[in-house]
Amino acid sequence: MKLISKKICMTRDIGIHGNLFGGILMAWIDEAAAAFATEYCYTPNMVTVKVGELLFKKPVKSGNHIRIYGEVAHLGNTSITLNIEVKKYSLYSAEETSVCSTNITFVRIDDDGSPTPIGETVRKNHTNNLQQPLAIL
């Protein structure tokens, strides 16, 4: 997975139980995933159409550093689905702990808001990325 965003949990982001408010994390995920999808598809005309089940695995506290990772799970004719993993990052040990995961689907739209095909260049780049062998370390 590719690192697509970083955030710091601030006091203003905390809910009534002393943890990061789930709605704030959901907004961070949507923003990061949208930025990734629009860059990947070379168009700003993408809208969120579906967010899969959000699994909140661990609490996030004020001051925690958050990293959001994403990868393309599926590229359709007009849509792109991403797998998203959110991790808490320790500045002291560089250890990462998974705090949330989901998948999110975006659809490319035209000026009227109707679905429109994702460009052929994107499809070719995607196919080439899938065919590249993994590097051996």
Cβ atoms of residues 101 and 85 within 8 Å: yes
Cβ atoms of residues 30 and 54 within 8 Å: no
The pLDDT of 107-123, averaged and rounded, is: 94
Three-state SS string across the chain, please? CEEEEEEECCHHHECCCCCECHHHHHHHHHHHHHHHHHHHCCCCCEEEEEECCCEECCCCCCCCEEEEEEEEEEECCCEEEEEEEEEEECCCCCCEEEEEEEEEEEEEECCCCCECCCCHHHHHHHHHHHHCCCCCC
Alpha-carbon distances of 126 from 27, 56, 79, 93, 117, rounded to whole Å = 27, 30, 13, 35, 15
Quick check: 37 pLDDT over 70?
yes
**Tokens of residue 44, six digits:** 């700003």
Quick check: 134 pLDDT over 70?
no
Quick check: 55 pLDDT over 70?
yes
At residue 126 the predicted structure's pLDDT band, cuts being 50, 70 and 90, is confident
At residue 129 the predicted structure's pLDDT band, cuts being 50, 70 and 90, is confident
What are the pLDDT digits (tens) for 5-27?
999 999 999 999 999 999 999 99
- What mean pLDDT value characterizes the chain? 93
What are the pLDDT digits (tens) for 84-102?
999 999 999 999 999 999 9
Alpha-carbon distances of 118 from 75, 97, 106, rounded to whole Å = 9, 34, 11
At residue 137 the predicted structure's pLDDT band, cuts being 50, 70 and 90, is low
CATH number of 2-131: 3.10.129.10
Q: Where are the domains of the chain?
A: 2-131
pTM: 0.90
